[in-house]
Amino acid sequence: MYLILQPSIKKLKVFEDVLDSRLIDSLLKLNIRILLASNIAKLEANKDNLYKPNTNTTDWQTIKSKWASHPDYSAQQRNIILSEEPLIIAQAGAGSGKSHTVVGRLN
């Protein structure tokens, strides 16, 4: 993300003397939101091509029962791991186990 924003930051720094720093911050946040929305739209457009588990197998039922009460994950994390949706957006604070959850989902 930093590399994508770098050109925008440089362009806005030119106006530092005439623009309020709060306005510059707002413009950068807007840029981030636009990039995020664009990436989500691209993923959504390709959603049918993404992996989706076959939940009608005994393997899936075994996996689901294994993860349903896994002690290393909270109920919310288990819901993300066991979701049948190929795309999931989760928002959480620092140190809340986002990376741990992603690894669990990949497993």
d(CA 19, CA 25): 10
- In this prediction the pTM is 0.57
* pLDDT above 90 as % of the chain: 0
For residues 75 and 41, give the distance between their C-alpha atoms in angstroms, rounded to a whole number: 28
Banded pLDDT at 9 (limits 50, 70, 90)? low
Residues 6+ apart with CB under 8 A from 105: 80, 81, 88
Q: Residue 36: pLDDT band by 50, 70, 90 thresholds?
A: confident
How confident is the model over 52-56, as a mean pLDDT?
82
Question: Measured in Å, how far apart are the chain's first and last C-alpha atoms?
Answer: 26
In the structure encoding, which two tokens stand for residue 16, read together? 């530092």
Cα–Cα distance for residue pair 46/33, rounded to 1 Å? 20
